[in-house]
Amino acid sequence: MTIENKVVLITGASSGIGEASARLLASRGAKVVLGARREEKLKAIADDIIAAGGQAAYRPLDVTDPQRNKDFVAYAKDRFGQVDVMFLNAGLMPSSPLSALKTDEWDRMVDVNLKGVLNGIAAALPEFTGQKSGQFITTSSVAGLKAYPNGAVYGATKWAVRDLMEVLRMESAMEGTHIRTATIYPAAIQTELLSTITDPAALEDMNRTYDSYQITPDRVASVVAFAIDQPEDTNVSEFTIGPTIQPW
């Protein structure tokens, strides 16, 4: 399998999709490097992976800080000798109607969901370009494919990621750098996303949706593994993932 021995960096790795992906990829022979703000959770996950016979390392990471993204990539290369995949998974979803004017939350979503992805790309792209190989995977959302009430700014960041990744794929093909991209659009997945919602009505609505439909994050992790495991000459660009019973 092409997963084996690849060095995979994962942001937002302390829970949810990031954690599930780290555990699955490590079980298939990848060397995973975990990044998130909660160091104690990263350590616990890495310790579990190592105890199970896998290879893992971790480093606290705030994706909104460009230098810390660069340090994260440098740490991974120093620890394992190379960088093969950057899974840009960190994100937050404080949904609210625009009329609530929660502008501080708008700014935070732009900083994490969009600038955080750009910072990760800027940190890893020189490595991928230099070695003429590498893969960026991002977690967008079904809100990056269609509009939802209460999700204007969240959706805007996720639509932006969709375009960003497609242009990155096209430019890599044109420049001959062989960088692969994959964008994932999850629907109701059991994660900590809802914990960032401060608007009571929006939270009630989202809780009702997730309580009715959500599936576990390992379902997304299996798709992340599928994207990585393709032959190096094959790019699989987009995956929409959600509960079979959810009408999205």
The length of the chain is 248
Q: How big, in percent rounded to 5, are the helix, strand and coil portions of the chain?
A: 50, 15, 30
Instruction: Please name which of 28, 37, 90 lies closest in space to residue 56, comparing C-alpha atoms.
Output: 28
154 is catalytic: yes
Helix or strand run (H / E) with residue 47: helix 39-51
Catalytic residue among 75, 148, 154, 213: 154
User: What contacts 104, CB < 8 A, 6 or more positions away?
Assistant: none
- The first and second tokens of residue 7, run together, are 């060095």
| Measured distance between the N- and C-terminal CA atoms of the chain, rounded to whole angstroms | 33
Q: Catalytic positions, please? A: 154
